[in-house]
């Protein structure tokens, strides 16, 4: 007889009801298994609908509805506590993860600034992962109108976006209650996702590979929500998010609830712009501003959805060197770019190439600033730009004779 079936029958026969509970140690000895194996078997049985309960005194087979409900409440409380701890730990990830740009940006950020402008916002990773600073204006900008429209809808109209993606109209009153709890709660907890969203299966089907781009253009004028939903499907099923080739299996839309909720909260006070980089830099540049630019990489412009002609690299440089605020620029390592920014501080590193289909592929990247990070960041020294194993993560390869910003 399989061990899990024998365990279920044993508990039902000899340990039914809380008064007849058996300790974990006794079960481990009886079935010759370790505590971790026992917990795994118990969880599997519960997942199959076997009413095994527990409390401080041990395990037992439920004899009454109240006994079962007590264990369910106990599990839900544990889920909430774990979810709370997970969210707290996740907020610290930017300080530990080797996320390339995010790591160096956090290190090079000046101690005092009053606004942060993400000029080439793209996926929003930099804006989303920044710690929220009280009194600091935040601006997300991208020249891709479909992308900024999607961010606006996530920020301002998450319910309508879910409806257009296909979750609504709901199939049952229970499904409505799931969404109501989700949007009315002060915070998102995993118990709603895990236990109550199992009521229905709703899938976001991949778009037709040949028709999707035409669909985008055809439907865009009909309204921002529909346009956002179309674009979400486009990037969800395109390889590397490039929106040029497609594939993948239908995706359970319930997975996006947590993402939409967190993004909507994070974007609540972020200004979303859809402007040319020069316009947005000139509009928001001030003394005390931090302007972050991650433009299309030089000689790799064809990999991006929005056109960026070669002369725009010069135009970007020309507007940045006139800035009153601080600027940080990420680029691929190219002689032309290094020559162009001779009036700045330049750091270099090597990073995995996420856009390459070759395993182990890397590319060299540089980060450029118009200020000396060692003076603007009181905790920073060149030693702090070394990896934990002693290997150089970013090295200063150029220091200007006449810095743009003292």
pLDDT tens series, the chain, 406 aa:
788 889 999 999 999 999 999 999 999 999 988 888 899 899 999 999 999 999 988 999 999 999 999 999 999 888 888 877 776 676 555 444 445 567 777 778 888 899 999 999 988 888 988 888 889 999 999 988 888 888 988 888 877 777 777 654 444 444 455 555 554 544 444 443 444 344 334 444 554 444 444 444 444 433 477 677 767 766 665 544 444 444 455 555 555 666 777 788 889 999 999 999 999 999 999 999 999 999 998 887 666 666 788 899 999 999 999 999 999 999 999 999 999 999 999 998 877 665 555 666 777 889 999 998 877 665 555 555 544 444 446 788 999 988 888 7
From residue 189, how far is each of 80, 185, 193, 265, 378 by CA, in Å?
6, 9, 7, 14, 38
| pLDDT at residue number 218 | 45
Full DSSP string of 143-209? S-HHHHHHHHHHHH-HHHHHHHHT--S-SSHHHHHHHHHHHHSSS--HHIIIIIGGG---EEPPPPT
Q: Where are the domains of the chain?
A: 3-89, 97-143+275-406, 145-266
In terms of Cβ atoms closer than 10 Å to its own Cβ (0-12, 13-18, 19+), residue 160 is middle
Residue 273: strand pairing partners: 141
The whole-number pLDDT of residue 210 equals 47
User: How many other C-beta atoms lie within 10 A of the C-beta of residue 73?
Assistant: 10
- Structure confidence at residue 221 (pLDDT): 39
Q: What is the pTM of this model?
A: 0.62
Instruction: Specify the CATH class of 3-89 in words.
Output: mainly alpha
Classify residue 255 by its DSSP letter.
G
Interhelix angle 145-156/256-266, rounded to 10 degrees, is: 90
pLDDT of residue 8: 92
What is the pLDDT at residue 335?
94
DSSP result, 44-103: HHHHTT--EEEETTEEEE--SHHHHHHHHHHHHHHHHHHHHHHHHHHHTGGGT---THHH
pLDDT at 173: 47
Task: Match 């026992």 to its residue by tokens.
Answer: 38
What's the CA gap between 51 and 53, in Å, rounded? Answer: 6
Helix (H) or strand (E) run with residue 331 in it: strand 326-332
pLDDT of res. 192: 39
* Residue 135 · residue 116 · CB < 8 Å: no
pLDDT score for 390 = 42
List the structure tokens of 214.
């035409």
Q: Does the domain at residues 145-266 carry the CATH identifier 1.25.40?
A: no
Give the pLDDT of residue 406.
74
CA distance 16 to 28: 18
Q: Quick one: CA dihedral 82, 85, 90, 96, positive or negative?
A: negative
Interatomic CA distance for residues 245 and 207, integer angstroms: 11
CB 7 within 8 A of CB 60: no
**Contact status, residue 116 vs residue 292, Cβ threshold 8 Å:** yes
What CA–CA distances, in Å, run from 391 to 68, 87, 104, 223, 379? 55, 31, 15, 51, 20
Per CATH, is 97-143+275-406 categorized as 3.40.50.150? yes
């Amino acid at each position: 007889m399989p061990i899990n079936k024998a365990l279920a029958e044993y508990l039902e026969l000899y340990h039914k009801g809380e008064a007849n509970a058996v300790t974990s140690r006794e079960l481990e000895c009886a079935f010759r298994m370790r505590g971790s194996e026992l917990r795994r078997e118990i969880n599997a049985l519960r997942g199959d609908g076997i009413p095994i309960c527990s409390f401080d005194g041990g395990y037992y087979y439920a004899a009454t509805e109240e006994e079962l409900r007590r264990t369910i409440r106990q599990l839900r409380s544990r889920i909430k506590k774990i979810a709370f701890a997970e969210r707290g730990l996740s907020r610290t990830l930017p300080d530990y993860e080797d996320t390339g740009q995010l790591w160096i940006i956090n290190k090079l950020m000046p101690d005092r600034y009053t606004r942060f402008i993400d000029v080439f916002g793209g996926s929003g990773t930099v804006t989303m992962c920044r710690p929220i600073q009280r009194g600091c204006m935040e601006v997300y900008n991208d020249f891709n109108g479909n992308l900024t429209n999607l961010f606006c809808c996530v920020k301002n109209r998450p319910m309508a976006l879910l409806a257009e993606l296909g979750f609504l109209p709901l199939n049952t009153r229970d499904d409505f209650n799931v969404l109501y709890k989700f949007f009315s709660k002060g915070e998102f907890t995993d118990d709603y996702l895990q236990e109550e969203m199992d009521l229905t299966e709703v899938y976001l089907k991949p778009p037709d590979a040949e028709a999707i781009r035409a669909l985008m253009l055809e439907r865009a004028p009909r309204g921002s929500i529909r346009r956002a939903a179309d674009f979400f499907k486009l990037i969800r099923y395109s390889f590397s998010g490039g929106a040029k080739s497609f594939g993948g299996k239908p995706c359970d839309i319930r997975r996006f609830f947590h993402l939409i909720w967190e993004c909507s909260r994070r974007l609540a006070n972020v200004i979303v712009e859809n402007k040319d980089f020069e316009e947005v830099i000139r509009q928001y540049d001030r003394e005390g501003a931090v302007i972050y630019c991650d433009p299309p990489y030089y000689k790799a412009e064809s990999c991006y959805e929005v056109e960026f002609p070669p002369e725009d690299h010069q135009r970007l440089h020309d507007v940045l060197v006139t800035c009153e605020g601080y600027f940080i620029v990420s680029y691929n390592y190219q002689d032309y770019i290094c020559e162009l920014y001779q009036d700045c501080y330049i750091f270099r590193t090597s990073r995995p190439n996420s856009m390459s289909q070759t395993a182990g592929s890397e590319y060299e990247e540089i980060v450029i600033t118009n200020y000396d990070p060692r003076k603007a960041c009181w905790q920073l020294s060149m030693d702090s730009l070394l990896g934990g194993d002693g290997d150089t993560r970013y090295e200063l390869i150029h220091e200007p004779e006449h810095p743009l910003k003292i």
